[in-house]
Structure 1
Amino acid sequence: MSSVASGSGDGSHRRATVGVKQALRELDTQLTLLNRQVGGRVGLKDVDMDCLDLINAHGPLSPGALARRAGLHAATMTGVLDRLERAGWISRERDPADRRASLVRALRDRNAELLGHFAGMNASVERICADYPDTELERFSQFLHRVAEAGHKAAQDLD
């Protein structure tokens, strides 16, 4: 294993690691601000935006599964789903596998409005990615997925 991969060396690896952590914090801040601004334009609270994103990424989901993914109490989730349904972002349907249960589904027509607000950011990311070869993009993707998983685990450990 190289000295860089093992974490030893002249301190440059440590400085680079600190730089990555700082960049991740800055990214988190900027994405939070963007999400808050978009949420304000479409009338969604931050938690509502987060849950809608989870539904779009992993749905349809049961309210319980969504609550677990979002790290929210079931009663809080009920309020979020009520707001999203009233505003026309989601529908609740009977689960065909279990008629006693329900599933939450994002309404794609309404989500086009939301995606329009993120078009500038998405175009910027496309331009940035165009500067890198596929192999580097794959490494970035793996890195970001691993960091996301570490964040998930850290949140679970706090429970």
Structure 2
Amino acid sequence: MSSVASSGGDAARRRRRSTVALKESLRDLRNQLSLLNHQVSARLALKDVDLDCLELIARNGPLSPSALARGAGLHPATMTGILDRLQKGGWIVRERDPDAADRRAIAVRAVPGRNGELFRLYSGMNAALDEICEEYSEAELELIADFLRRARSAGTAATGDLANS
């Protein structure tokens, strides 16, 4: 075997190992973030799914309950219980949607004053991420952000495929 062919095979093996290591790191990160979110949920006396929905509302709100259910991948009937718990806890309010054609339409929005509790609980992770990001150049951060956006899009597509099969 020529050294060119051998080096090509070595490069392919290294690339496969790097790809596998990256996927394993993403799974490890997903698990660790899940554990962190579970700890935050427990401190706030919320269910994990409640925290997920609160994040969607805070980032994308105000939202209709049906739009929130679609975004969270949950059945609308399940969403009613989640919204009841979040409202009872003072995390969200339900208001008439002034932009909707149907006067009965409701919009859900996060209560702004409550964000401080969430920021405090995530402050350790946010500070650690700031330190990690300091070690990368602007170009490297842009590359990482692009990778994560593309990985999220792939996850969205895979989720849709599973939901539709």
Bin of the TM-score, shorter chain as denominator length: over 0.9
Number of residue pairs aligned between Structure 1 and Structure 2: 152
Aligned with residue 150 of structure 1, among 133, 139, 154:
154
Aligned equivalent of 2:30: 28
Alpha-carbon RMSD: 1.1
**Partner amino acid for 1:23?**
S
How do 1:8-157 residues align onto structure 2 when only pairs under 5 Å count?
A: 9-98=11-100, 99-157=103-161
- Which structure: larger Rg? 2
Q: Which blocks of at least 5 consecutive residues in structure 2 are unaligned?
A: 1-9
Q: CA deviation at 1:53?
A: 0.6
TM-score (norm 1): 0.93
**Partner amino acid for 2:82?**
V
Post-superposition Cα deviations, 1:50-78, rounded to whole Å, max 9, x if no partner, equal 00011111111110000000000000001
Q: CA deviation at 1:122?
A: 0.2
TM-score (norm 2): 0.90
Q: CA deviation at 1:9?
A: 3.9
Q: CA deviation at 1:36?
A: 0.2
Moved over 6 A (4+): none
Q: Which blocks of at least 5 consecutive residues in structure 1 are unaligned?
A: 1-7
Q: CA deviation at 1:155?
A: 1.0
Counterpart secondary structure, 1:105? strand
| Inter-partner Cα distance in structure 2 for 1:131 and 1:44 | 35
